[in-house]
Amino acid sequence: KGSDLGGGCSTMGTLSGGGNIVIKVGEGCLIGANAGIGIPLGDRNTVESGLYVTAGTKVALLDENNQLVKVVKARELAGQPDLLFRRNSETGAVECKTHKSAIELNEALHAHN
């Protein structure tokens, strides 16, 4: 409910994701164009365009000052709310930080969906 899936984005199927985890999208999420997920997203998550997050993806957790807290596999973040997944354009590392600004859909753009 209230989520936006960008053009060309995708989700891994249950079998390709390991066979026992259902890949679902929480409320108020944004998956950018050509992005993809292999983990369930919690409410109000954002995945930047072009980023594919699989269960085994190494993710650098950042604090509010963009300082590294620790590195985890994405499966450890499955279903957690208010996360922003992005790729660092300088290092190529996948990063995650708390994302408190809720995504609101543009009603005019989605009036005919």
- Which DSSP helix (H) or strand (E) runs through 84? strand 83-87
**Span 48-95, pLDDT tens digits:** 999 999 999 999 999 989 999 999 999 999 999 999 999 999 999 999
CA 57 to the chain's CA centroid: 12
What pLDDT band is residue 20 in, cutting at 50, 70 and 90? confident
Segments making up each domain of the chain, as ranges: 4-98
What's the count of helices (H) and strands (E) in the chain, helices before strands? 0, 10
Q: What is the CATH code of the structural domain delimited by 4-98?
A: 2.160.10.10
CA 89 to the chain's CA centroid: 17
pLDDT at 28: 93
Token pair 């290092």 in the structure block, residue: 91
Q: Is the pTM of this model over 0.85?
A: no
